[in-house]
A = this chain, B = another copy of it.
Amino acid sequence: MKMQPAAIALLSLMAIQSAHAEETTSMTGMLMLTNEDVRKVAPALEAYTQSRLLGDVWKRPDLAPRDRSIVTLAALIARNQTIEMPFHFNLALDNGVKPREISEIITHLAFYAGWGNAMSAIRVAKDVFAARHVGVDQLPAVSITPLPLNEAAEAQRSKAVQEQFGSSFPRMAQYTTDVLFRDLWLRPDLASRDRSLVTVSALIANGQTAVGPTSSRQCLLRRMFLQSVLANRH
């Protein structure tokens, strides 16, 4: 019985976000919990963290550690769970997520999880980047050469959105096209497949199941996500 790709993302519902670090104070001046801190309140939770989360879920083979880090960062940012961020920004970098990808993940989630959540993440990330000497040359430029647009898929998405709320909220539909799908989603420093991973993870983490596909004609996003995850299985 193989695990379905989408189920991997859904696991974030069950074991959303994760562990804690060994140091007591983070570089950001925010308290980071030690294992010992956790044991002083909830020894069982510390044990679950080691056995079920780090020792089991994180080691499942159908989603790479790099992708689990992306999913976890998206969930942490979407729910504004800052206490776990210093550990997970560092773990993500250790798992091969590039600084430019983290930069784009945060930018992406400003639109999908709220500007305030993105700013909280930046507050933590800037100290992690500084401690690891991540310079501006490792970050995405403002002006980029956009990825090629799949015009057929975009026409389909745009039509679906237009039918869904274009007559009631025409400018909203227009922003969705201009700012999101013809701008943000085409920025090259985060793969489209990873943007889907980030978007779906954030929507799940916030329970926003009404966003995105609601009928067979509107399932572009979900299909894009599943296809890209499948295409990248290993």
Contacts and interface: CB of A to CB of B under 8 A. Distances in A.
A17 B114 contact: yes
Given A14-B172, A81-B80, A169-B7, A119 B20 contact: yes
A123 interface: yes
A182 to B, nearest CB: 13
Given A48-B107, A111-B15, A207-B207, A119 B7 contact: no
Contacts of A37: 122-123, 126
Number of copies: 3
B107 A45 contact: yes
A81 B117 contact: yes
A-side binding surface: helix, strand, loop or mixed? helix
Nearest to A36: B126
A224 to B, nearest CB: 18
A140 B43 contact: yes
Given A83-B123, A116-B83, A103 B52 contact: no
A150 interface: no
A227 interface: no
Given A80-B81, A142-B47, A6 B169 contact: yes
Interface in A88-130: 102-104, 106-107, 110-111, 114-120, 122-123, 125-126, 129-130
Closest 3 CB pairs of A and B: A81-B116, A16-B114, A7-B169
Interface of A: 1, 3-4, 6-7, 10-11, 14-20, 31, 33, 37-49, 52-53, 60, 75-76, 79-81, 83-84, 102-104, 106-107, 110-111, 114-120, 122-123, 125-126, 129-130, 136, 139-142, 144, 168-172, 175-176, 179, 187, 205-210
